[in-house]
């Protein structure tokens, strides 16, 4: 006959300890799971926007910026409305309010910024924060964004792979006849601005660009005609005010049609954002450069010191149509005959989701090509563009 469990003290204590440990582990875990489930359920509830005339929309509050509420509805799409025109706004996700004149310090906690769920009317926002209820008048609200976006933009220090945006473009054409012709063109444009949020003062920006055009025409018993052009550039901007910045850049060019094997340019200078809005941006810059030109005819090689004066401009039309323009002129101070200039302009037309059709004209002028080569080179490229990320 087996001895009853309660008369086996050591074994009984072990089993009791295991049961208590399981309860201690499962209890908090169950509570945490229940709390997480409650938060998820709250987050999945639709936000509610009630207009002053009684009309009602359900969906998601995106942000408040520029004095307008941005609300995305399943039925009406994204709407913008002034706070004075609403009766009530209820949001279930946690938001952060940045008040007008608030001093926000990046990569640090800013305890003066209230965070929590909110209910608003035409006069003020009432927020339920971890420390209690707080009311902020609409006239004192500069920006209202989801807390998750606020933490990413303000408190975190992004790694080198974070925040990149840009486009990849590719095009090709072939002709098979008496002459056989093939042409390819490609371009990659990448940019990274830190912080990403437009309402924060810019810190630094990185720009990377590459474009390539290659073509070949062949015909029996006739010399092959080749076109080979590529351009690559990298720029690092460091802001010391919302519109002024210092910059360093390097530019590499090859143009078979101009007899240019490789031109290397390294420069530093200053830039100014003359126009900046949600629709358009115009940047002006001036740099001092060292340039090394290597031609197919080596006797034409030069080492130059000069300056580059340039502008870049983008304009966003309705329906996602984008226009971009860039131009620069480079006088060389130690050889005034060796100046150069570049200009480009293009349109990007949306096709489907992140795919678009693009057309771009690129004009490159080199005043001192070797004998037998033209000074001007004009390209017209078309292709499909994919937007990153």
106-134 pLDDT per residue, tens: 888 888 899 999 999 999 999 998 888 99
Evaluate if residue 162 carries a pLDDT over 80. yes
Same domain, 80 and 143: yes
What pLDDT is stored for residue 9 in this prediction? 46
* Mean pLDDT, residues 221-241 taken together: 92
Evaluate if residue 8 carries a pLDDT over 80. no
* Mean pLDDT, residues 208-229 taken together: 91
Assigned domain for 289 exists = yes
* Mean pLDDT, residues 61-77 taken together: 90
* Mean pLDDT, residues 205-217 taken together: 94
Same domain, 263 and 227: yes
Among 126, 155, 184, the domain boundary falls at 155
Among 120, 155, 190, the domain boundary falls at 155
Strand partners, 184: 172, 214
User: Residue 324: which domain range?
Assistant: 164-388
Q: Which positions ≥6 away from 380 have C-beta within 8 Å?
A: 359, 360, 361
Same domain, 293 and 377: yes
- Degrees, nearest 5: CA angle 387-147-140: 105
Same domain, 258 and 368: yes
Q: What is the DSSP string of 30-41?
A: HHHHHHHHHHHH
Give me the percent of the chain exceeding a pLDDT of 70: 89
Same domain, 98 and 142: yes
Helices (H), the chain: 9-44, 147-150
Assigned domain for 18 exists = no
DSSP tag of 274: E
* Mean pLDDT, residues 259-287 taken together: 96
CA of 328: how far to CAs of 33, 126, 253, 285, 286, in Å?
A: 59, 52, 14, 9, 9
Same domain, 87 and 203: no
Assigned domain for 232 exists = yes
CA of 389: how far to CAs of 163, 169, 172, 191, 386, in Å?
A: 9, 14, 24, 11, 9
Give the start-end residues of each E strand in 159-259.
164-176, 180-194, 204-219, 222-239, 244-255
Q: Predicted confidence band at 317 (pLDDT cuts at 50, 70, 90)?
A: very high
Assigned domain for 233 exists = yes
* Mean pLDDT, residues 360-380 taken together: 93
What pLDDT is stored for residue 286 in this prediction? 98
CATH number assigned to the domain comprising residue 349? 2.40.160.40
Q: Predicted confidence band at 18 (pLDDT cuts at 50, 70, 90)?
A: low
Q: Which positions ≥6 away from 321 have C-beta within 8 Å?
A: 347, 348, 349, 350
Same domain, 188 and 280: yes
Same domain, 280 and 151: no
Assigned domain for 145 exists = yes
CA–CA gap between residue 230 and residue 249 (Å, rounded): 17
Among 137, 155, 173, the domain boundary falls at 155
Q: Predicted confidence band at 159 (pLDDT cuts at 50, 70, 90)?
A: confident
Q: Indicate the range of 31-40, 162-171, 206-215 predicted with least confidence.
A: 31-40
Assigned domain for 338 exists = yes
Assigned domain for 2 exists = no
Same domain, 137 and 179: no
Same domain, 178 and 69: no
Same domain, 146 and 222: no
Split into its structural domains, the chain has a count of 2
Contact 367, 338 (CB under 8 A): yes
Same domain, 130 and 168: no
pTM of the model: 0.78
What pLDDT is stored for residue 19 in this prediction? 46
* Mean pLDDT, residues 382-386 taken together: 96
Using alpha carbons, select from 137, 120, 116 the residue that is nearest to residue 128. Answer: 116
Assigned domain for 1 exists = no
CA of 148: how far to CAs of 93, 103, 145, 153, in Å?
A: 9, 19, 8, 9
Mean pLDDT over the full length of the chain: 88
């Amino acid at each position: 006959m087996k001895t009853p469990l309660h008369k086996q003290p050591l074994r009984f204590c072990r089993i009791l300890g295991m049961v208590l440990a399981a309860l201690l582990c499962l209890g908090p875990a169950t509570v945490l799971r229940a709390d997480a489930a409650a938060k998820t359920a709250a987050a999945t509830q639709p936000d509610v926007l009630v207009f002053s005339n009684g009309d009602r929309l359900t969906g998601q509050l995106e942000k408040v910026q520029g004095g307008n509420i941005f609300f995305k509805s399943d039925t009406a799409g994204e709407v913008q409305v002034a706070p004075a025109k609403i009766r009530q706004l209820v949001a279930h996700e946690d938001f952060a309010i940045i008040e007008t004149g608030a001093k926000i310090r990046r990569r640090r906690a800013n305890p003066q910024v209230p965070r929590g769920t909110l209910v608003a009317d035409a006069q003020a926002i009432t927020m339920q924060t971890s420390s209690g209820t707080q009311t902020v008048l609409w006239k004192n609200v500069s920006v209202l964004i989801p807390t998750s976006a606020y933490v990413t933009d303000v408190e975190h220090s992004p790694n080198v792979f974070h925040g990149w945006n840009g486009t990849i473009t590719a095009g090709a054409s072939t002709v098979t006849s008496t002459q056989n012709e093939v042409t390819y063109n490609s371009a990659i444009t990448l940019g990274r601005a830190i912080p990403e949020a437009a309402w924060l003062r810019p810190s630094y920006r990185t720009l990377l660009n590459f474009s390539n055009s290659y073509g070949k025409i062949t015909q029996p018993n006739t010399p092959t005609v080749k076109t080979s052009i590529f351009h690559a550039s990298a720029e690092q901007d460091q802001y010391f005010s919302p519109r002024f910045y210092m910059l360093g850049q390097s530019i590499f060019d090859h143009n078979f049609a101009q007899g240019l094997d490789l031109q290397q340019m390294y420069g530093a200078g200053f830039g100014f954002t003359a126009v900046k809005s949600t629709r358009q941006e115009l940047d002006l810059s001036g740099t001092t450069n060292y340039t090394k030109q290597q031609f197919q005819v080596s006797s034409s090689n030069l080492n130059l010191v000069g300056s580059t004066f340039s502008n870049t401009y983008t304009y966003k039309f309705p329906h996602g149509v984008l226009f971009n323009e860039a131009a620069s002129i480079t006088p060389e101070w130690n050889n005034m005959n060796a100046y150069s200039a570049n200009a480009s302009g293009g349109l990007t037309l949306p096709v489907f989701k992140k795919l678009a059709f693009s057309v771009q004209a690129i004009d490159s002028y080199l005043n001192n090509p070797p004998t037998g080569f033209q000074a001007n080179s004009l390209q017209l490229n078309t292709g499909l563009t994919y937007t990153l990320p």
